[in-house]
Amino acid sequence: MKDRLNYILGGAAILLLAATFWFFSDVRRTQRVQAGFLGSISPFLKQGSSLQKYYTAKRDGLKRLDELEKEVDKLRVQNRELSATNQALRGVEAERNSLKRALGYREEQPFQLMPARIIARDPSTWFQKVTIDRGSEELIEADQAVLTEAGLVGKTTTAISAHSAQVILITDENCRVSARIEGSREQGIVQGERAIKGGTPGIGLGFLSKQARLEKGRSVFTSGIGKVYPANLLVGIIEDFRVRELDSYATIKPAVDLTTLEEVFVVISETK
C-alpha cells in the first residue's frame, strides 16, 4: 500500500514538472496567459482604484469640513469681540457728543454754571432727591437752580457739605417752580405729582386761569419770579389740560429724563 502511494506521488510530481516546463517553454503562450489573467482582474483593480480615490476624497472632504467649522467658530468669536468693541466705541462717542453739547450749552448761557455729577441716589426717593459731587468748597449754596442742556432738573437744598450737596428734583411735591406758557400770558406754579400705583411721578402746572384753554404740546418755561430759577429755562411740554373748579391744570412731561440723570449744572451766579 505504501509503495503504491509513493508511486502515485512520484507520477504527479513528474506531471507537474512537465506542465511547468511546457508553460514556460513558450514565451508567447506565457504572455497570453498573463494578459488573460490581467484582463480578468483589471475591472477589480480599476474598481479598487476608484474606491480608494472615493474614500480618499471623502477623508479629505471631512478634514476640510472640520477645518471650516473651526474657522467659522473662530470668526464667530472675532465677530462677538468686534461687536463688543463697536458698542463700547459707540458709548464713548455718545458720551463725547453729550459732553460737547453740555460744554457748548455752558458757554452760551449768560449765568455761571458749575458742572456736577450724580454720586448717590436712594431707590426709595429716586424721583425726589439726588446727591451731587459739588459742595460749599465749589460755591454751592441752598436754593440754586440745577439743570442740564435739555432743561430744568430742580434746586439745591440746605444739605450741603464741603464736596457734596443734595438736590431736590422737580418731580418732588415739595419743589415748586414759577412758570409761564409759550405763546400765552398764562403763568402758574409747577409742582411734582404723586406717583399712581407705583408708576413714575410727573409734574403739573396749576393756578392757571379757567380761560387758559392750552393745547397739548406747548412748552413750559421758568418765569424767573422768585429769584431761585433763572427765566426761560425749559421745564417741559404740556401733555394734558383740564379745567378744575377754581382754576385750570396742565399735566407736563419733564424736559429732562430724570430716570437716567448722570450729569448736571448748578447755577452759582446769574452773571458771568
State pLDDT tens for residues 95-134. Answer: 555 555 655 555 566 778 999 999 999 888 888 999 999 9
What is the pTM for the complete model shown?
0.63
Residues 146 and 261 in one domain: yes
Is residue 168 domain-shared with residue 256, that is, in the same domain?
yes
Query: Phi and psi dihedrals of 176, rounded to 5?
Result: -120, 135
Q: Is residue 72 assigned to a domain? A: no
Q: Residue type for 193, please?
A: E
Q: Which domain holds residue 209?
A: 112-269
Same domain, 28 and 161: no
Rounded to whole angstroms, the Cα distance separating 55 from 93 reads 56
Q: Do 196 and 119 share a structural domain?
A: yes
Q: How many CB atoms lie within 10 A of CB 268?
A: 17
| Confidence band, pLDDT 50/70/90 cuts, at residue 31 | low
Tell me if 76 is assigned to some domain: no
Number of domains in the chain: 2
Average pLDDT of the chain, as a whole number: 77
Question: Could you tell me the CA-to-CA distances from 23 to 16, 100, 114, 195 in Å, in that order?
Answer: 10, 105, 117, 114
Is 29 in the same domain as 156?
no
Beta strand residue intervals within 42-127, DSSP E: 112-120
Q: What percent of the chain has pLDDT over 70?
A: 62
Helix (H) or strand (E) holding 15: helix 2-25
pLDDT of residue 128: 92
Whether residue 142 is found in the same domain as residue 217: yes
Q: Dihedral of the CA atoms 39, 43, 45, 50 (nearest 10)?
A: 150
Residues 231 and 153 in one domain: yes
CB 241 within 8 A of CB 220: no
d(CA 45, CA 147): 91
In a domain, 80, yes or no: no
Give the residue from 37, 57, 77 where a domain finishes.
57
Does residue 102 sit within a domain?
A: no
Q: pLDDT tens digits for 145-198? A: 999 989 999 999 999 999 999 999 999 999 999 999 998 889 999 999 876 555
Decide if 95 is inside a domain.
Answer: no
User: Which of 38, 57, 76 delimits the end of a domain?
Assistant: 57
User: Where do the H-state alpha helices sit in 109-239?
Assistant: none
Specify the CATH number for the domain of residue 193: 2.40.10.340
Residues 48, 124, single domain; the answer is no
Q: Do 154 and 256 reside in the same domain of the chain?
A: yes
Give me the percent of the chain exceeding a pLDDT of 90: 39
Of 242, 253, 193, nearest in space to 215 by CA: 242
CB 152 within 8 A of CB 139: no
Of the candidates 182, 149, 150, the residue with the CA atom closest to the CA atom of residue 250: 182
Residues 149 and 29 in one domain: no
Instruction: Tell me 151's DSSP state.
Output: E
Which of residues 228 and 33 earns the better pLDDT score?
Answer: 228
Q: Which residue in 238, 232, 177 sits closest to 213, CA to CA?
A: 238
Do 48 and 117 share a domain, yes or no? no
Residue with cell 418765569: 223
**Residue at 63 is within a domain:** no
Residue 66 resides in a domain: no
Residue 31 covered by a domain: yes
Look at residues 14, 32, 57 and tell me which one is the last residue of a structural domain.
Answer: 57
